[in-house]
Amino acid sequence: MTQPEGNCCDLLVISPHTDDAEIGLGGTIRLLADRGRRVWAVDLTRGELGTNATVAERWSEAEKASAVLGLAGRAQLELPDGFIDSTDRDQVAQVVGVIRRLQPRWIVTAPDPVRHPDHQETPKLVERAAFLARLVAWQTPAPGGTLWSGGAPWPEAAERWETESVFSVCPDDGQPAVIFYLAGQGAVAGLLCQPVFPATRTQGHLDQRHGLSGKNRAPGADLGPSRRGRTGRGLGKSLLSGPE
């Protein structure tokens, strides 16, 4: 079962550091929240190696940003900053625990996986965790860390969870293979998506009731860009750029 009625969130944004979600796709988060979507953000680390602010200062800023973005909830885990590792069993278990509790329809990692080693490793970690979250034989402990007091509490965990699609923001110089369009209020903006595996270029739209829906599906049929897709560049920018 991938999405029973009343799943805990529509979109789960997983980032290595506090502020990565805002930088990578803040515009999209707010846009979806305004359309009634339940969006959660999870920061994998406390950002303890950062030089621009303390851990406490960054979390305080994240709490304010979460309210502005209209997030349904936010959590900050305590994986080691600078050492995100998709092969570390304990790190994978933490993310599996998050997925089984939030039961997201879609997962996206942000920002684009370039330069910082944590940015490059996070999509791999999340992809592995999303696969393992489906396996009943591997049960994991509850995720640790800090919850945003202005959001929802952790829901009860599902025994297993299968997410429809997993994405990641791709670099500005990337070549997305899938394009979605956001239709609303007379404007259409492009949403570029890069699938993990090769796919035929396609089109779809995002509407308030049915989410990502493909042109070639029956009206109201739910469709992710790919069961194993990755969101493309422009996720946080092109949705606000006006008609194209």
**Successive 10-residue mean pLDDT values, the chain, 244 residues:** 58 94 89 92 95 92 96 98 97 98 92 86 94 96 95 95 84 60 45 39 31 28 31 34 30
Instruction: Find the DSSP H helices in 88-163.
Output: 89-102, 117-132
Within 13 A of 184's CA, how many CA atoms are on the CB side?
17
Residue-level pLDDT at 40: 97
Residue-level pLDDT at 51: 83
Domain assignment present for residue 172? The answer is no
Residues in the chain: 244
For 186, counting Cβ atoms within 10 Å of its Cβ (0-12 exposed, 13-18 middle, 19+ buried), the class is exposed
**Do 195 and 161 reside in the same domain of the chain?**
no
CA pair distance 72, 130, nearest whole angstrom: 21
Residue-level pLDDT at 27: 87
Q: Are 165 and 228 in contact (CB under 8 A)?
A: yes
Domain assignment present for residue 102? The answer is yes
Phi, psi of 146 (to 5 degrees): -120, 140
Domain assignment present for residue 202? The answer is yes
Pick from 105, 132, 166: which residue ends a domain?
Answer: 166
Residue-level pLDDT at 175: 62
Residue-level pLDDT at 95: 98
**Do 84 and 198 reside in the same domain of the chain?**
no
Residue range of the domain that includes 98: 9-166
Within 13 A of 122's CA, how many CA atoms are on the CB side?
33
Pick from 111, 143, 166: which residue ends a domain?
Answer: 166
User: Which pTM was predicted?
Assistant: 0.76
Number of domains forming the structure of the chain? 2
SS3 198: coil
Domain assignment present for residue 25? The answer is yes
**Do 33 and 134 reside in the same domain of the chain?**
yes
**Do 21 and 102 reside in the same domain of the chain?**
yes
Domain assignment present for residue 171? The answer is no
